[in-house]
Amino acid sequence: MDEESKRRIEALEQSGPGALMQKMGLEWIETSATKVVARVPVEGNTQPYGLFHGGASAALAETIASVGAWLADQTKITMGIEIKVNHLRPGRSGWITGTGIPLHAGRTIQMWEIRMTDDDGKLTAFGTCTIAVRDP
Q: Hey, what's the torsion of the CAs at 15, 16, 17, 23, to 10 degrees?
A: -170
Which residues partner with 109 through β-bridges? 132
At 17 the three-state DSSP class reads coil
Could you tell me if 111 and 81 are in contact, meaning their C-beta atoms sit under 8 angstroms apart? no
Q: Give 37-93 as a DSSP string.
A: EEEEESTTSB-TTSSBPHHHHHHHHHHHHHHHHHHH-TTSEEEEEEEEEEE-S---S
Residue 72 phi, psi dihedral angles, 5° rounding:
-70, -30
Which residues partner with 10 through β-bridges? none
Which candidate in 27, 62, 82, 113 is catalytic?
Answer: 62
Is 13 marked active-site?
no
Residues annotated as catalytic are 62
